[in-house]
Amino acid sequence: MEDFDKKLSLAEQMEEDGRTSGDSSGSSNTLTLLRKFLEIQQRRAEAYARLKRGFDEYMTSGREISYQQLCGEITAEFSNCSKQVIDIESNFCSPDHDRIELASLLRSVQEQEKQKLHLTAQIQLLKKAGRPSERLVSHENCRFKTPREHECLHVHEITEASGTEEAEADAEYDNALKEAIKGVQDAVTTINEHMEEVRYEIAALEDK
């Protein structure tokens, strides 16, 4: 009977050691995935910085091809980052991790990143177009007297027309730009809050 008790005690200890080892392994894997997520977010931040620089250069130089090429590269980078985050999210949902709350956190970040990218593109499109009252007028229908002198047929129309429509168009443009900028700021705020939660989780796991 004593030998049986010893064997039972040994078996229980081995089982407990196995659970402890498994928990440690799970924590380590979770930590690795969260750190990878932080790296992906850093890549996204760098991509946004590149996009901003490229857009500023385009607005100065007007080189459309270079800007479109950059947009293609940035789109591919964001797509790659998104796929990797989805993979991490799937890992957290798996029985090996069973960290649904972390998966939900990453899903929320994904949604905010999507909104941020959409609104960033909208802001750039608006800035490219410019305010209605400041857009250049095409001279393609003007009457040319010489190669360098022409009579602007649209000038008379503009000066006689009421400024109400133009003012309304400007106001609509300003509101659209303001809303898009605020939307980006709100998305960034939410993303940063979620990133803090991720960092707290990392710190807790590192203390184990």
Tell me what the mean pLDDT of segment 54-77 comes to: 94
Q: CA 82, CA 73: separation in Å to the nearest integer?
A: 14
- Alpha-carbon torsion, ordered 82, 88, 93, 97, to 10 deg: -170
Q: CA 123, CA 69: separation in Å to the nearest integer?
A: 18
Q: What is the enclosing helix (H) or strand (E) of 158?
A: helix 153-160
Q: Three-state SS string across 187-206, please? A: HHHHHHHHHHHHHHHHHHHH
| Least confident range of 75-89, 138-152, 168-182 | 138-152
Query: In the predicted model, is pLDDT for residue 24 greater than 70?
Result: no
Query: In the predicted model, is pLDDT for residue 28 greater than 90?
Result: no
Confidence of residue 12 (pLDDT cuts 50, 70, 90): very low
pLDDT digits (tens, 9 = 90+) for 45-56: 999 999 999 999
The pLDDT of residue 11 is 41
Query: In the predicted model, is pLDDT for residue 157 greater than 90?
Result: no
| Least confident range of 42-46, 153-157, 168-172 | 153-157
Q: Buried b vs exposed e over 104-134: b needs ≥16 C-beta within 10 Å?
A: ebbbebbebbebbbebbebbbebeeeeeeee
Q: What is the enclosing helix (H) or strand (E) of 143?
A: strand 143-146
pLDDT digits (tens, 9 = 90+) for 87-142: 999 999 999 889 999 999 999 999 999 999 999 999 999 999 999 888 755 444 45
Q: CA 184, CA 187: separation in Å to the nearest integer?
A: 5
Q: CA 14, CA 33: separation in Å to the nearest integer?
A: 28
- Alpha-carbon torsion, ordered 45, 50, 55, 61, to 10 deg: 160
Q: Are 47 and 78 in contact (CB under 8 A)?
A: yes
Higher pLDDT, 161 or 31: 31
Per-chain mean pLDDT for the chain: 82
Confidence of residue 164 (pLDDT cuts 50, 70, 90): confident
pLDDT above 90 covers what percent of the chain?
Answer: 64
Q: What is the enclosing helix (H) or strand (E) of 144?
A: strand 143-146
